[in-house]
Structure 1
Amino acid sequence: MKKTIVKAILVATMLVSVALGSEGPINAAAATTPAPAAGKTTTPAPVMTDNLSKYGLKKDVELPVTVTAGGLSYTLHKVMIYDINSSTAISLQKQYKFVDYFGAIVDPQYLIWTKITITNKSNKTIEHSNKDMLFKWRLFFENGGEAVLVDALSEKVHLNSKQALYDFKLQPGESLITYQAMYYKGNFKYLGILLSFNGESVKKYIVNRPVVKQ
């Protein structure tokens, strides 16, 4: 009698499984998962584009910021300031082997790490190389306080590097999204981008109010 009852239960279970098909366990699991409340959506965490407030700088405009001069477009997506002896700066230095070829800054205090896009909107080649060593853009944090671009000696880095830009060459219509390092020594009073190319210079402020020390 007991065997008959057990067989009956097994047969019934098999029939239910066949009727549900492969979606049975999925639907059952879904049924136990609470649905989100009506009208509520999940908000993604904000992406950190700068740490300027850490140095007393309050943005007047939000990143990204684009400046165009003489057919060259420069967009600053991200700017992070690191103490030169911080773990992040040391890690970046170890990875890319940065060097200030011109010795413009002795004993830098900070490493500035940026994410940028550059676009050639002119009808001629734009480059920074042995043929044209002029820097096309600069970041200023106070009067005379320029962050100096540094080269990366790592074997990973090359012309038009997408990891740590120094030398580049863009044909008309060509764009490059990349990262770039700078050294800085000085105070933080504002943040301005100066873009100079083809006889035209344009300056745009991200922070245009001098920091007032309490």
Structure 2
Amino acid sequence: MKKTMLSKTMMGRTAVKVLLATTLLAGVIAGQVGPASATAAKPTAAPIMRDNLSKYGLVKDVELPVTVEAGGLSYTLEKIMIYDAKSKDAQALIKKYGYNVERKYFIWTKITITNNSKTVVQFSSKDLSEKWRLYFGKDALTVMPQSSANKLNSKDALWVWKLEPGKKLSTYQAFSYDENFKTFVIWVDNKGQFTEKYIVKRAVE
């Protein structure tokens, strides 16, 4: 009888130990899952490639985007990519928008322009003066997209544009260039006011 009672007691204790072990194990697992899921590293977004200037010996003194303002017109260069005009990337854009490029380099820019003045600012038949220029040692020339040459404020390939006071436009614009890259300056000229901003003061020799 005593042996039987002892066996039952031992069996009871063993069952309790197993139950406690199972409970503790479940708690450990839950503890591991909780904090791990809460502190799991979020995927890091890939950095935006805003330029390839270094490919041409142009090391930036300031990082893009860069904003230059004159006479109430704000010009922000968001992105600039320089291509050999015969390259695959350049030819894809040239054919898509109908550019006629006879110079060595095709330059593709993403920009935002904002009219902070109290009067209309435009590049059209009513005002043919260019409001900004890109200078690399010589002026880069703007290139007209045949596909949107008559489209006002194109958001895909800019040519003619008009901004009422307080309005802005984000778009793309193409240039061509045929000289060595010695520097990089943005010039904005509007309503008799002129501002320049050096992106690259001097190219790496």
Q: Partner residue of 1:151? A: 144
C-alpha displacement of 1:95: 0.6
Q: Does the aligned pair in 2 maintain the 1:163–1:179 contact within 8 Å?
A: yes
Q: Does the aligned pair in 1 maintain the 2:149–2:159 contact within 8 Å?
A: no
Q: Deviations over 1:71-127 (max 9, x none)?
A: 100000000001000011111111111147xxxxxx300110000000011111111
| Stretches (4+) displaced over 2 A | 35-42
Structure-to-structure mapping, 1:54-203, within 5 angstroms:
54-99=55-100, 107-142=102-137, 145-154=138-147, 158-203=151-196
C-alpha displacement of 1:158: 1.0
**Max radius of gyration: which structure?**
2
What letter corresponds to residue 59 of structure 1 in structure 2?
Answer: K
- Call closer, same or farther: CA 1:193–1:156 in 2, change over 3 Å: closer
What letter corresponds to residue 136 of structure 1 in structure 2?
Answer: K
Q: Deviations over 1:183-210 (max 9, x none)?
A: 1110111111000000011000111123
TM-score after normalising by structure 1: 0.75
Alignment length, in residue pairs? Answer: 173
C-alpha displacement of 1:166: 1.0
**Does the residue aligned with 1:173 lie in a helix, a strand or coil?**
coil
Identity level (%): 53
Q: Does the aligned pair in 1 maintain the 2:150–2:160 contact within 8 Å?
A: no
Q: Which whole-Å CA distance do the structure 2 matches of 1:43 and 1:36 have between them?
A: 17
Q: Which whole-Å CA distance do the structure 1 matches of 2:84 and 2:127 have between them?
A: 31
C-alpha displacement of 1:156: 8.7
- Call closer, same or farther: CA 1:61–1:36 in 2, change over 3 Å: farther
C-alpha displacement of 1:39: 6.9
Q: Does the aligned pair in 2 maintain the 1:188–1:211 contact within 8 Å?
A: no
- Call closer, same or farther: CA 1:155–1:146 in 2, change over 3 Å: closer
What letter corresponds to residue 140 of structure 1 in structure 2?
Answer: Y
Greater helix fraction, Structure 1 or Structure 2: 2
Q: Partner residue of 1:17? A: none
Q: Which whole-Å CA distance do the structure 2 matches of 1:156 and 1:177 have between them?
A: 17
C-alpha displacement of 1:155: 5.2
**Does the residue aligned with 1:210 lie in a helix, a strand or coil?**
coil
